[in-house]
Structure 1
């Protein structure tokens, strides 16, 4: 389907499940490198910063992609998931204790966003004194409407992470930043490590916030989710349903054919972005049938050579967040209309206002 990512920026949206898998599993025909496309796109194009080429596993192909992805896989493989669970539980309790007695909260800004950012900061190994400034600029990584703000935010984040990398070279720890710096195989420069860290923030923060807020919104608005409140539907079942029906990245996994490619009966022009409609592909009548509880065949985390390496961590953080919240305030209900963020890629509420019976005693 022909679409525009921004005015005058054409792309092709793939909506069928089989076609989506074909694109994602054919990196030689549909590489992720956007360099040629960038040359033809104005600097002021609002989606350009989000799709810009770079030396990361998300934006490279072939041997270089394998080398960079291997380094990320090795670093993420060293993460202690039991420690992550305990730390996220602690943070969730602390955040809930800030609003439990008020009878109302805005769960994106007061709960999901600070919870996810704190978890990612710890995984990365960000110095605590940089946390507030990083929290201020990280939203620019998902900005698809203002190229100037997006570029400025990314440059500020590059500067902050550059300082953090310099500090880690003399004071390494048990964190992804230190493990990347210690990996001799890619032969990282400090600027290359910064690029990998920006990718982690880009792909871990906003999508995980979106997963949590979309799950909360579904529990509060979708009659099918009533079982989640009664305990007969597990939190993982809820998250899988959300990843099928309302994934936080509704369109993503952008690919750039180097020569014209035929998909079905449609010729895709060379160097024109091919965007996977993740939400649309899940609604393909070929697969969207019956009760999908326990079905984890969605492609919300991508597929093939570029599939998300941290999907387990994202699901762990989201599961802990939802469990702690529902245990503390099971009677919450929406306190206002949900407004969904305008974006060609991300889909999540701009805010999730809720009300509930104020706790008479401290819940934790």
Structure 2
């Protein structure tokens, strides 16, 4: 079953229901033509995989040995010195450095910076009566927030944006490889600068951590932060806005019985930024409860969307945060609180400023076996005066 088609990207829940009817909770899939994997459907089955890192490690080295360099998804899945792609002692070392750096982030200062920049971006289109919210609001807001956290400024930001855009386009192998090289090159310069002049930022804290990370290892940690923070947080903002604009019950309840966090959680259940992720690689064949064998060194990928729920708003999930959008177990996202803070501020500022938004045209989803994001979110509204 292919995960790389435009049809799947447009309506993954439909295909999940079809596939479960045919295969049950373990679906044979292709991440790209000829790249085989098993997709895990269902919350219970997913947790079994995610909470058993010894049986289902995140280290892809065995898989990589048999994967050609021109594999379209290799850039997204290949191993490296980060907590996302290692196991055991290595994983503990890298994750410890990540967590120690992230807990030092001043969230009050971050909130003030994101609010300030959100107002600046809204002012640029508020009086016009229309906007493309991905390019003009969500993406630049999140990228700027992550830049501030990491300690990046100036021309490096534009280069990072180009690199990240190339990495998410898994169908173009050469472009993705070039994006990886550009990302590493820019971040290497950032790390060298922090070596000479440390600051109050994540890059400097990683360099100073007791794990003794090398420059190359710090570059790898920062690359992971950009890959897992910028596009997914942008997608979370846009996917939540889309739900609010297209679901009358959600829109009517927002600000009353429904908080911004409730709306975000609804999107995390039904349209998480990474529809299929948390890839694991059993080192020996595994016999599952339903009698299905999972081959050794073949990717096992988790469906993070709660596709059983049907249309958004059909089930009242207020206060329920049992979604898997941030993963689970020892590889769960260590920056979920920071991502939610950025997304909450973005939504609060935008919905307060432009409460009468409506989609301006049919929306198109990015074709990807992993990501769930809109290629654009054009909206129209009544033009108003600028924010003070």
Pairs aligned (count) = 359
Q: CA deviation at 1:134?
A: 1.6
Q: 1:147 aligns with which of 173, 195, 206?
A: 173
Say yes or no: does 1:238 pair with 2:260.
no
Q: CA deviation at 1:282?
A: 5.2
Match of 1:87 in 2: 113
CA distance in 1: counterparts of 2:267 and 2:354, whole angstroms = 21
Say yes or no: does 1:341 pair with 2:347.
no
Q: CA deviation at 1:262?
A: 1.9
Match of 2:35 in 1: 9
Say yes or no: does 1:263 pair with 2:288.
yes
Match of 1:311 in 2: 336
Match of 2:145 in 1: 119
Go from structure 1 to structure 2 and tell me whether the alpha carbon gap of 1:232 and 1:51 turns closer, same or farther (over 3 Å shift): same
The answer on whether the counterparts of 1:213 and 1:349 sit within 8 Å (CA) in structure 2 is: yes
Q: 1:44 aligns with which of 54, 70, 91?
A: 70
1:152-191 correspondence to structure 2 within 5 Å: 152-184=178-210, 186-191=211-216
CA distance in 2: counterparts of 1:98 and 1:60, whole angstroms = 43
Partner SS state of residue 333, structure 2:
coil
Partner SS state of residue 128, structure 1:
coil
CA distance in 2: counterparts of 1:317 and 1:88, whole angstroms = 7
Partner SS state of residue 124, structure 2:
coil
- What's the CA shift string for 1:165-215, capped at 9, x where partnerless? 11111111000000001113x221111110110000010011000000000
Comparing 136-145 and 98-107, the one that deviates more: 136-145
Partner SS state of residue 252, structure 1:
strand
Partner SS state of residue 125, structure 2:
coil
CA distance in 1: counterparts of 2:230 and 2:49, whole angstroms = 26
CA distance in 2: counterparts of 1:141 and 1:172, whole angstroms = 29
Unaligned 5+ residue runs, structure 2? 1-26
1:56-67 correspondence to structure 2 within 5 Å: 56-67=82-93
Give the alignment's TM-score, normalised by structure 2: 0.90
Q: 2:49 aligns with which of 12, 23, 43?
A: 23
Q: CA deviation at 1:138?
A: 1.8
Q: 1:302 aligns with which of 322, 327, 333?
A: 327
Q: 1:206 aligns with which of 210, 231, 238?
A: 231
Q: CA deviation at 1:289?
A: 8.9
Q: CA deviation at 1:230?
A: 4.7
CA distance in 2: counterparts of 1:289 and 1:16, whole angstroms = 19
- What's the CA shift string for 1:91-135, capped at 9, x where partnerless? 100000000011000000100000000000110111323222222
Go from structure 1 to structure 2 and tell me whether the alpha carbon gap of 1:73 and 1:282 turns closer, same or farther (over 3 Å shift): farther
Unaligned 5+ residue runs, structure 1? none
- What's the CA shift string for 1:237-288, capped at 9, x where partnerless? 0000000011110000000000011222211000000000111x55279xx9
CA distance in 2: counterparts of 1:294 and 1:146, whole angstroms = 40
The answer on whether the counterparts of 2:327 and 2:333 sit within 8 Å (CA) in structure 1 is: yes
CA distance in 2: counterparts of 1:161 and 1:169, whole angstroms = 12
Q: CA deviation at 1:219?
A: 0.5
